Chains A and B, each alone.
Chain A
């Protein structure tokens, strides 16, 4: 019951945040010098002032600022993000087409990071001064200090140039029929390098985090009691410890989702992954304002939803934080 009211409150709050994002986007992007008429004139190979005036009119740019803002907000709330200047397609369509690959990449990387990171941390915590623990510490530092695109390039050198066992770019061979087993295998094959590169940063962070919280837990009364009750070391760690070590990892992962999304922009560029990141870079370099606004809005939406989900997941997993408001 209490959970439900918190959920309702959070959703209401998320909607307010989204409206703020829309307004912010609109104001930000209207600061750019020049407008669509100039972009279109550029693509058409030049245009006369009369034609440019016509274009401005047909895109509603001759109206006062607040009218344009109001129109934009209403349209976005109805799910209409406008039409891309560059691709000439509704932005919503463009984003929906690209969001699948990005989510696939990001969630795969995140899963790898959470699973591998937590496991490394938990193992390391059992013997804080052992070689494995030191190795994890070093790995964490390395993963955290290397630029993600550089890690990607190094992995390319190893797996593509030297070993030649993984594909360099793209997501799937364009002629492979979708939905077939071959198609899924190809996507998986292409996914290995991008997701590993992206995960590297977070494996590093999460292993550190898991190690620290595991050490905290191992020293807590709760585990001492469990041990005193005669449970084996292994059982204590994997049954009681793991669950508690993974919660802070998930919490941080939730908070960091927007950062992981950021990393995806770089990784998608390296691997030509057909996701939102490459779309965003394209849109920025070609000053495709509706698409830029659409992507900013959409990524905020994804982050908000994701935060909401992890928040709820943690509240369910850990009764202790169920009641507190700011987890």
Chain B
């Protein structure tokens, strides 16, 4: 992970005479990155489709509309039908919701656990750090997908289980990052100052250090959402997903046995995942550059 702390931020490159407000500077830097802007627009459209799409149509993604594995374009079925004769297009439209929701929820769990563990370890150090890092390492040695497969298998595949299983296995990276940031920032002058005037630990952690550690964590948060969407897709692909809710991964998992006969059942939902995750990663890149002008200039 590149060095992304804010305290080392220096203004280089084309020197401005006036000093900008950090947020304006952030926006200006972000908008300089055309790919990130396009990705942001594209992602917004995807989110809107996910929220509004099902409201605008009264289609049922589970409804059997035509003969099984009909190729795209035939008889008005835009993207063809799946192995049960359900419309791929409608399923992708509805699948957006589940995929994005699982991605966001799992990322939220990942961030909460990671931030808690990382900040406490980084701030208190000593035995707290030792203990928490041992726990982190413990979770790092178990292959995440394998562990989440076992968890979903144990507690039956519902949306909640899947979210939980993804969150529980993927927080270690966030924890390590948060720990590193906290360790660095806690030694800075203004934190020392806050401590010397008797501020409580909780206040120092949440009000003083956290805001300064945010930039890299925000970037990580964005990437975590993308990773969680991919994770959900992998679980669904393996058949470990809620059978009552269409997600992009589930469409692929349902039809993978028919892949050679009906490649469209796999190609289109995969494309949806790919484009969404690509947008999220581009946004993450844009954020990273905007927070770290120094890196961008290089």
Chain A residues with a Cβ under 8 A of chain B = 17, 20-21, 24, 28-29, 31-32, 128, 141-142, 144-150, 153-154, 156-157, 161, 168, 212, 215, 255, 258-259, 261-263, 265-266, 269-270, 280-281, 284-285, 287, 292, 295-296, 299-300, 303-304, 307
In whole Å, how far is A74's beta carbon from the nearest beta carbon of chain B?
A: 21
Would you call A307 and B141 a contact (CB within 8 A)?
yes
Q: A128-B298, A150-B273, A153-B266 are in contact. Are A259 and B137 (CB under 8 A)?
A: no
Q: A145-B274, A157-B263, A266-B237 are in contact. Are A259 and B144 (CB under 8 A)?
A: yes
In whole Å, how far is B153's beta carbon from the nearest beta carbon of chain A?
A: 4
Q: How distant is the Cα of A161 from the Cα of B261 in the complex, in angstroms?
A: 10
Contacts of A28 in B (CB 8 A): 150-151, 154
Total B residues in contact with A, Cβ cutoff 8 Å: 43
**15 A–B pairs (Cβ distance < 8 Å), ordered by A:** A29-B150, A141-B281, A146-B278, A147-B249, A147-B252, A148-B230, A150-B252, A156-B259, A284-B150, A284-B153, A284-B240, A285-B239, A295-B146, A303-B143, A304-B141
Q: A128-B298, A258-B142 are in contact. Are A150 and B154 (CB under 8 A)?
A: no
In the complex, which of the residues B2, B147, B226, B259 contacts A145, with contact meaning CB atoms closer than 8 Å?
A: B226
Would you call A303 and B141 a contact (CB within 8 A)?
yes
Would you call B146 and A265 a contact (CB within 8 A)?
yes
Contacts of B266 in A (CB 8 A): 150, 153
Contacts of B274 in A (CB 8 A): 142, 145-147, 150
Would you call B237 and A147 a contact (CB within 8 A)?
yes
Is B140 in contact with chain A by the CB < 8 A criterion?
yes
In the complex, which of the residues B146, B252, B263, B281 contacts A296, with contact meaning CB atoms closer than 8 Å?
A: B146
In whole Å, how far is B82's beta carbon from the nearest beta carbon of chain A?
A: 15
Contact with A along B252-267 (1 / 0, CB 8 A): 1000100110010011
In the complex, which of the residues A31, A157, A161, A262 contacts B154, with contact meaning CB atoms closer than 8 Å?
A: A31
Contacts of B249 in A (CB 8 A): 147
Contacts of A299 in B (CB 8 A): 142-143, 146
Chain A residue with the shortest CB-CB distance to B152:
A284
In whole Å, how far is A128's beta carbon from the nearest beta carbon of chain B?
A: 6
Chain B residue with the shortest CB-CB distance to A306:
B141
